[in-house]
Structure 1
Amino acid sequence: MTIKQLALVGVLALSTALPAGAADVELTLSHWVPGTHPLHVTGMEPWAESIRDASNGRIEITIYPAQQLGNAADHYDMARDMVVDIGFINPGYQPGRFPILAAGELPFMFSNAVSGSRALHEWYAQYAEQEMADVHVCMVHLHDPGTLHSKTGPLLVPEDLRGKNIRPAHATMARLVSALGGASVQVPAPEIRELLSKGAADMTASPWGSVFTFGLEDAVTHHLDMPFYATTFAFVMNKTVVDGLSPEDREVIDAHCSPEWSERIATEWAAYEAAGRERLLATEDHTFHTPDAAQIQLWKAAGAPLTDEWKRAVSAAGHDADAIYESFIETLRRHNALVE
């Protein structure tokens, strides 16, 4: 029996444990962050509750956190193959598979995660069918802009990455790390602490609050003190499940797969991540390396070639990269989400 088949058996077993007749539609939502993560507590749970209320109890969503049903990188395929009904994905965990959405991984783009998530959803809705046609894309959003955290310093300029083993947030950052003479060691977020503790990485990319979420506060004590990058996320649903909903239930789901909900699901998480910086400032033995204007320009210059790389990848996939990029920038600017 394959891993996916075993996972499906597990899902079915869990589903049969639910009270009979609890709802007309029982859906599974799988993700890979801890059940205590703000995205789970202040994002997914209220979203599922709102769907239950809006459907008068007809739709019930059971949430499985912490990779219970499958590895983080597998969640797109799990939703596509009906191992789960809804999968929470980081597209950057599968390098090159979703080149259009990878625009959201370019550094120094997003000023914030809240209006940025609404903008990202609105923009990507135009193109989702071109690269995620085998699922129903429900929401697309960001985390609060993150940065680099290291076991040692200094951490001020791109040259400080040379010769270091670095866990990047996604494939775009992995290419930047390589271009700057570092070695990329890519693992999902739940595996960062083990990677650092074993000495397999010297630093990691992370938003501020996630340093505490994943227990890194005693593993990384040097921090690049500037907003550097964002990571895109999406909630994707099995198409057969969505297409099989009654009209009234489909209306409920469509109302909860919207730019407004993408913004809402990112809001509390963004606040938590931003507050992590203040928590670290109040923690002993942590050093903040704050680049000056000239050093920031060095970082921006180092990241600039990534845009041309992105355009080449999108063009190679058969899309109009220039038009897509112009739409991306215009949408971010319209929502005051672009770093100017």
Structure 2
Amino acid sequence: MSILKTASAALVGICLAASAQAADITIRLAHLNPEDPFASHSGAMSAVFKSLVESNSNGRIEVQLFPNGQLGKDNEVIEQVRSGLVESVISSSGGMAQHYPMVGVFDIPFAFPNIGVASKVIDEDSSFGKKFVADLEGATGLEVLGLLDSGGFFAFTSGKAPIKSVADMEGQRIRTMTLPTHEAMITSLGGQPTPLPWAEVYTALQTGVADGQMNPVPIIAFAKFDEVQKYLSITNHLITPYIWTMNADFMASLSEEDQYLVNWAADVATDAGRSMSRVIEASDKGLPALAAKMDVNVVTAEEQAKFAAAAQPAVRALIEEKYGAEGTAMLDAMLASITEENANF
């Protein structure tokens, strides 16, 4: 192990030990976002989970929360959960991609027609969700507690120029998650992908390392990107998952009664997180607040079609190349689920 990794592991150990309290069972739950349950969906999820588990176990199970990336970068905390150092994490697709690259199947631009369909497909209990979760669990050894969207459809922000058409992407350095599919999409649109971990994004936008970035409106709002970005372009081009996982050995060590408690509390908390994203989007913490500080434009349906025509083939080709027949089958299963759910509305 490198000196850097050793120091990092020691720091995490000190942080965890400092927070330890007497309890029959302790669940340490980490996530990247603000702790305030009214500021982020993972904040809402963790708060609801903690309340339900602690109250329904009469305090026998304690849930310790580590928001704001306190325990490290997303992919690092997932590794801590896999190794058993931490019990649970709510993570982005960018963090999960380094442990389960197949999460990239969600990155076909403009695949989801609306948030209603997205909410039904990106769910642990949907036909596609069951297939996706089973594959992820088999590949990582983790146990999935919840699957939901990352906060809504992605929009672009920029400090350089508004993005109203594909031509406006030319030469713009756009921060992406460390996902090859995101990088391929930006490249296909004429931009320059700049993959960076979440903790570095604000500074990169502030210093000009990146001209812009893409994220759902609630994330743009709580990250205060309006302080370092002038333009907000509503494109609705992507919607990606947040994945809540737990160390499988820890879960197996719980009694049947406690496993039931953890699972139903996570189900309720995931529903709360999904709902909170919709509330934030519609409230003065979401788009209205950003519109008061940024120049906002909505990309027309005609221009969206041009974005899709440029980006979809490139992302699909990458999925087929990198993930082979298995990745193509997973992608086609997702697209079929989208078609099925859309027909049900």
TM class by shorter-chain length?
Answer: 0.7 to 0.9
For residues 218 and 15 of structure 1, the distance between their equivalents in structure 2, rounded to whole angstroms, comes to: 33
Match of 1:296 among 290, 300, 304: 304
Does 1:5 pair with 2:12?
A: no
Does 1:227 pair with 2:232?
A: no
The residue that corresponds to 1:128 in the other structure is 133
Q: 1:312 to 1:128 in 2, by over 3 A?
A: farther
Contact persistence 1:150–1:223 (CA under 8 A): yes
For residues 26 and 312 of structure 1, the distance between their equivalents in structure 2, rounded to whole angstroms, comes to: 43
Does 1:24 pair with 2:29?
A: no
For residues 102 and 79 of structure 2, the distance between their equivalents in structure 1, rounded to whole angstroms, comes to: 18
- SS of the equivalent of 1:163 reads coil
Q: CA deviation at 1:162?
A: 1.7
Letter in 2 for 1:220: Q
The residue that corresponds to 2:176 in the other structure is 168
Letter in 1 for 2:172: K
For residues 61 and 115 of structure 1, the distance between their equivalents in structure 2, rounded to whole angstroms, comes to: 32
Cα distance per residue 1:274-329 (max 9 Å; x no partner): 5422222233xx3223333321211110221113432443326xx2633x334323
Shifted more, 76-85 versus 55-64: the winner is 55-64
For residues 231 and 210 of structure 1, the distance between their equivalents in structure 2, rounded to whole angstroms, comes to: 13
Contact persistence 1:156–1:291 (CA under 8 A): yes
The residue that corresponds to 2:261 in the other structure is 252
Contact persistence 1:117–1:263 (CA under 8 A): no
Does 1:141 pair with 2:148?
A: yes
The residue that corresponds to 1:188 in the other structure is 197
For residues 147 and 8 of structure 2, the distance between their equivalents in structure 1, rounded to whole angstroms, comes to: 25
Contact persistence 1:118–1:263 (CA under 8 A): no
For residues 71 and 170 of structure 1, the distance between their equivalents in structure 2, rounded to whole angstroms, comes to: 12
Letter in 2 for 1:281: A
Letter in 1 for 2:93: P
Contact persistence 1:87–1:237 (CA under 8 A): yes
For residues 177 and 114 of structure 2, the distance between their equivalents in structure 1, rounded to whole angstroms, comes to: 17
For residues 337 and 105 of structure 1, the distance between their equivalents in structure 2, rounded to whole angstroms, comes to: 22
The residue that corresponds to 1:327 in the other structure is 333
Does 1:207 pair with 2:216?
A: yes
Does 1:265 pair with 2:273?
A: yes
Cα distance per residue 1:36-64 (max 9 Å; x no partner): 33224422101221222333433221101
For residues 51 and 336 of structure 1, the distance between their equivalents in structure 2, rounded to whole angstroms, comes to: 35
Q: 1:273 to 1:252 in 2, by over 3 A?
A: same
- SS of the equivalent of 2:227 reads coil
TM-score w.r.t. the length of structure 2 is: 0.85
- SS of the equivalent of 1:304 reads helix
Q: 1:24 to 1:95 in 2, by over 3 A?
A: closer
Q: 1:224 to 1:5 in 2, by over 3 A?
A: closer
Instruction: Within 5 Å, give how 1:276-295 maps onto structure 2.
Output: 276-283=286-293, 286-295=294-303
Q: 1:291 to 1:320 in 2, by over 3 A?
A: closer
Q: CA RMSD in A?
A: 2.7
Contact persistence 1:10–1:69 (CA under 8 A): no
Contact persistence 1:90–1:232 (CA under 8 A): yes
Q: 1:271 to 1:332 in 2, by over 3 A?
A: farther
Q: 1:274 to 1:99 in 2, by over 3 A?
A: farther
Instruction: Percent identity, please.
Output: 20
Letter in 2 for 1:173: H
For residues 135 and 218 of structure 2, the distance between their equivalents in structure 1, rounded to whole angstroms, comes to: 34
Q: 1:80 to 1:337 in 2, by over 3 A?
A: farther
Q: CA deviation at 1:113?
A: 4.9
- SS of the equivalent of 2:276 reads helix
Q: 1:191 to 1:64 in 2, by over 3 A?
A: same
Q: 1:274 to 1:92 in 2, by over 3 A?
A: farther
The residue that corresponds to 1:155 in the other structure is 163
Contact persistence 2:148–2:243 (CA under 8 A): yes
Unaligned runs of 5+ in 2: none
Letter in 1 for 2:245: V
Match of 2:95 among 72, 93, 96: 93
- SS of the equivalent of 2:70 reads coil
Q: CA deviation at 1:144?
A: 0.8
The structure in which a higher percent of residues are helix is 2
Contact persistence 2:54–2:62 (CA under 8 A): yes
Letter in 1 for 2:131: Q
Letter in 2 for 1:245: L
